[in-house]
Amino acid sequence: MAKRSHEPLRKEEKRKLDKAGLKKLAGIFRFMLPYKGLFILGLMALGLSTFTIMAFPKLAGELVDVATGNSKYFSSIEQVVITLVIVLFIQSIFSFIRVYTFSNVSERGIADVRKAVYQKILWLPMTFFDSRRTGELMSRITSDVATLQDTFSFTLAEFFRQVLSLIFGTIIIFYLTPSLALFMLLTFPVIVVAALIFGTYIRKLSRKTQDKLAEVNVIVEESFQSIFVVKAFTNELFQINKFTKALQEVVSVAIRSSLYRSLFVSFVIFVLFGGIVAIGWHGANLVQANELQPGELFSFVFYTAIIGFSIAGLGDIYAQLQRAIGASERVLDILALQDEAEPVDDQRLQLSGEIVFDNVSFSYPSR
């Protein structure tokens, strides 16, 4: 099973999420078409699962209203609890179908991708192998295909779910409490934009730390590969000092990155909860003026949290899609190469045993 990567994107991994990039990702999606029935079923389950879970905050608010004697739809707490349990049970069924179908489609489709890449590589001419390292080819079948597997089994489902949650949640809060929703719109985007700007700077520092660590690894690799030269010229102390200096640079950049990350965490906690306090303050004033029921305020805070998590999740999903586009580009480049003529299965060679060497020559294709 593929593992999701939460490391910041390296420069070579960045891809534009535009029409051309999505077209490359769609080029891999053709391997999923034989299983489109299961995929469509998973999409339907995804939509229904998201829709049913959006009823949970409203019902939780009704629980508060029943307790205070202001509910319009229920007469007892037990009725609300039973309805909540039924909604959660239905949602769990849809979630099971979604996870199972997406996993099934991705496992089968990605197996076809691996087979196609492996088969293509074996049929490529020797000139292809002369210009590429074994590790690079292994990376195409392992790392790149694993990234694509993660995309089709998790990232796409999460993308659709977050978008649907954002749309449904926004519609619901404007329908239930339009005045409070407008107040939220005046404060929430400022928080999100500030967090994104802060997060971008921290990701740059994280990439710089990775670059410095890569330089350290290069020093280690060169010294080990050329250990005979190091020993011959008694350069042990020189290499150790060089390694120590590079290591200190890594620590310096990492500490600087952790400083800004700590400030970022404190900033997010303060501003996020500050925004919730501001919304709660305005909502409490509406409750006090009998313009809003306590349960509606509770539901609104719940929906606002769902919307916030959806927006935050889209940032990570965007980075995952960039990785997937880069992986699909590299895989499709291999699949598009001209390979050697494949033999026909029903065509058998007729050998008579007479062998003649006439004007025979030999040379390496890449030399």
- Looking at the structure, tell me whether residues 72 and 167 fall in a common domain: yes
Residue 144 sits in a domain of what CATH number? 1.20.1560.10
Q: pTM of the prediction? A: 0.67
Domain count, the chain: 2
State which residues of the chain have pLDDT below 50.
1-3, 6
- Looking at the structure, tell me whether residues 225 and 132 fall in a common domain: no
In-domain check, residue 261? yes
Which pLDDT belongs to residue 225? 83
In-domain check, residue 355? no
| Residue span of the structural domain in which 265 resides | 178-291
In-domain check, residue 353? no
- Looking at the structure, tell me whether residues 243 and 168 fall in a common domain: no
- Looking at the structure, tell me whether residues 150 and 273 fall in a common domain: no
In-domain check, residue 126? yes
In-domain check, residue 146? yes
- Looking at the structure, tell me whether residues 158 and 62 fall in a common domain: yes
- Looking at the structure, tell me whether residues 120 and 161 fall in a common domain: yes
In-domain check, residue 345? no
* DSSP collapsed to 3 states, the chain: CCCCCCCCCCHHHCCCCCHHHHHHHHHHHHHHHHHHHHHHHHHHHHHHHHHHHCHHHHHHHHHHHHHHCCCCCCCCHHHHHHHHHHHHHHHHHHHHHHHHHHHHHHHHHHHHHHHHHHHHHHHCCHHHHHCCCHHHHHHHHHHHHHHHHHHHHHHHHHHHHHHHHHHHHHHHHHHHCHHHHHHHHHHHHHHHHHHHHHHHHHHHHHHHHHHHHHHHHHHHHHHHHCHHHHHHCCCHHHHHHHHHHHHHHHHHHHHHHHHHHHHHHHHHHHHHHHHHHHHHHHHHHHHHCCCCCHHHHHHHHHHHHHHHHHHHHHHHHHHHHHHHHHHHHHHHHHHCCCCCCCCCCCCCCCCCCCCCCCCCCCCCCCC
- Looking at the structure, tell me whether residues 147 and 224 fall in a common domain: no
In-domain check, residue 121? yes
- Looking at the structure, tell me whether residues 160 and 183 fall in a common domain: no
Which pLDDT belongs to residue 1? 44
In-domain check, residue 99? yes
- Looking at the structure, tell me whether residues 150 and 223 fall in a common domain: no
- Looking at the structure, tell me whether residues 253 and 240 fall in a common domain: yes
Which pLDDT belongs to residue 23? 77
